[in-house]
Amino acid sequence: MSDFSLKYRAAIEARLRAFVNDGDDVAGIGYYTFCYGKCEMCPKEGIRWHYILENLRSGATLIVGSECIVNYQLILSEWGYHPEHVVFPNFLRPYAGWILEKNPNAVVFNDGIVMRFRANSGAIIRANSKPAGLQHFRHAERSQTGGVERVGAVDERGRFYPMGPDVVYDYKAEHVECGSDGDDDDADPDDMTNREYDELDLAPEEGYEALSEMHDWDEDGAERED
């Protein structure tokens, strides 16, 4: 049995029972760093790293911190659920290092499974962050151009990354440092400072503006129709 407090276990088990059934594929369809948010799986507040999960059967979504990605697999394996892990696309591989160090079974990478996503993760990010706190993000996106659907990932600079089982992605070219400012090499990324984003040369408000421009949102968060 996992070493969770009774309060923590009760919170995450109640949330997971409502979110996932045995046999459901759950995909990580994006992540963002925002100071400060709240995990929707446990009572923890003040998290920086947010992962957007989608139940690919029901379409339900859940925003969770990195620690709850680690513990998702532990709980579901105790229940005897299969699959018990979260499926990430390969473009999120650089952002899963700390998770896999804590629990190598928590995440598997399979673009083919994640391609079934339907949620608008860009809208989810915008609805759950503010310009002054949004720092970095990458999320799966579907778009239509000339009647042709394009599926891939976008980031705060508007760059597009193709996604799919036949795409070769050089994830090693995008290293993300998940260490802490101190001597604790195992620090939770949710407790990190933001120095690792300095090389982006991107102010928080720029990331938010890029997110808005990519999706052409109205002020209320609804996507405009041309």
Select the more confidently predicted residue: 64 or 180. Answer: 64
DSSP annotation of 158 reads -
User: pLDDT digits over 111-152, tens only?
Assistant: 999 999 999 999 999 999 887 788 889 999 998 888 888 899
- Does any domain span residue 133? yes
Q: How confident is the model at residue 3 (pLDDT cuts 50, 70, 90)?
A: confident
- Does any domain span residue 202? yes
- Which residue range forms the structural domain that includes residue 156? 6-215
Q: Are 197 and 136 in contact (CB under 8 A)?
A: yes
pLDDT of residue 174: 56
Q: What is the mean pLDDT of residues 45-68?
A: 95
C-alpha span between 139 and 65 (Å, rounded): 15
- Does any domain span residue 145? yes
For residue 99, pLDDT beyond 50: yes
- Does any domain span residue 143? yes
pLDDT of residue 164: 84
The number of distinct structural domains making up the chain is: 1
- Which pTM does this prediction carry? 0.78
Q: Average model confidence (pLDDT) for the chain?
A: 79
- Does any domain span residue 222? no
- Does any domain span residue 153? yes
Q: How confident is the model at residue 165 (pLDDT cuts 50, 70, 90)?
A: confident
Q: Are 51 and 31 in contact (CB under 8 A)?
A: yes
C-alpha span between 179 and 97 (Å, rounded): 10
- Does any domain span residue 30? yes
- Does any domain span residue 169? yes
